[in-house]
Amino acid sequence: MPSSSMNKNETNEQKQSLLKNDDKQNKTDIGANIILIGAPGSGKGTQSARLVERYQICQISTGDLLRQATQDKTSLEGEKIRRVMETGGLVDDETVMSLIDKSINKPECRNGFLFDGFPRTIYQGEQLEQLLESRQKRLDAVLEYAIEDDHLKRRILGRLIHKSSGRTYHEEFNPPKQPMKDDITGEKLERRSDDTNETLSARLTTYHKQTKPLIDFYRQRNIHRSIDATQSVNDVSKQSIEIVDYLRKQSTYKPSTSAIRQTETDDTLTIKSKSIINQRDVDTSHLSNNFLFIYNAVISVLRDRGII
């Protein structure tokens, strides 16, 4: 059955060697420009930590940057942002774009960047495209962590965070060694103020209405791939890395108008059919739980028999 639980037997050492392969990692492995799209609790933050380490790139999480902006209790701007976040809406594009503009120039982004939770609207996607074009940068991969809303409540309501480092735990799926204490510093773990039942439903509505249209936006640009986010954390990481490694070798990204004009050439068809065979371009987000279960079972049998 599609599991939303982490494999508790995965040791830190196993996680490290799966992702880093440090001794073997050479310069050509470094660098990528990645976007993660997914509903609240789909695993964007969890996977970001692993991908930035793997590609030695910077993580730009607009959620984290906006939370930082709310820390100054005397700032009116911060108070405005806090209210929007706690009601599950989106912070205005101008504020978000100015954060992006500042972040992308940081020295830690010299090898590339990973956007966690940005862009969230078509407008932000278009703005990002212009910003990257002006800096002669391109996107390599847009990974969508696809998961049904039903799975997310448990993930969000059980989440624990270590505020200063951003480390994330889960009461059930990834518990800290000592209850409510960070494994590294021993400091107290907290819950996010928007991790409540009511705010979660508003966040999900916002995601479906305003962010999901971006999936077609990036599909037209040939760099979107959907990953089944109900898998274990390690499986999602493995698939994410495989896809990024594959896509960054391609020159498939077609920015702005050229993407809309683009027709299905033989080349793109070959790439698409290859991706489907590799289970990389299958959008499972619209499937019901029952169909998703059958779909995953078929894929796993085909894999076991070496057919795909």
Residue 216 Cα to chain centre, angstroms: 16
Residue 138 burial (10 A CB sphere; 0-12, 13-18, 19+): middle
Q: Is 82 a catalytic residue?
A: no
214 lies in the binding site for ligand AP5 (CB under 6 A)? no
- Decide which of Mg ion, ligand AP5, none touches 125; Cβ closer than 5 to 8 Å per partner kind: none
168 lies in the binding site for ligand AP5 (CB under 6 A)? yes
Of positions 55, 113, 118, 246, contacts ligand AP5 by CB under 6 A: 118
Q: What is the DSSP letter of 19?
A: H
Query: Could you report how far apart the first and last alpha carbons of the chain are, in Å?
Result: 20
Q: Among residues 54, 155, 159, 280, which one is catalytic?
A: 159
Q: Is 192 a catalytic residue?
A: yes
**Within the chain, where are the H helices?**
12-19, 44-55, 62-69, 76-87, 93-103, 122-134, 152-157, 197-206, 213-219, 233-249, 256-261, 266-277, 289-304
- Decide which of ligand AP5, Mg ion, none touches 168; Cβ closer than 5 to 8 Å per partner kind: ligand AP5
38 lies in the binding site for Mg ion (CB under 5 A)? no
Rounded to 10 degrees, what is the CA torsion of 217, 230, 235, 25?
40
Burial 177-203 (b: 16+ CB within 10 A, else e): eeeebbeeeeeebeebebbeeebbebb
Q: Is 219 a catalytic residue?
A: no
91 lies in the binding site for ligand AP5 (CB under 6 A)? yes
176 lies in the binding site for ligand AP5 (CB under 6 A)? no
45 lies in the binding site for ligand AP5 (CB under 6 A)? yes
| Residue closest to ligand AP5 when measured from CB atoms | 63
**Per-residue contact flags (x/-) with ligand AP5 for residues 137 to 156, judged by CB under 6 A:** ------------------x-
40 lies in the binding site for Mg ion (CB under 5 A)? no
Task: Compare residues 203 and 248 and give the one whose CB is closer to Mg ion.
Answer: 203
Footprint on this chain of Mg ion (rule: CB under 5 A): 44-45
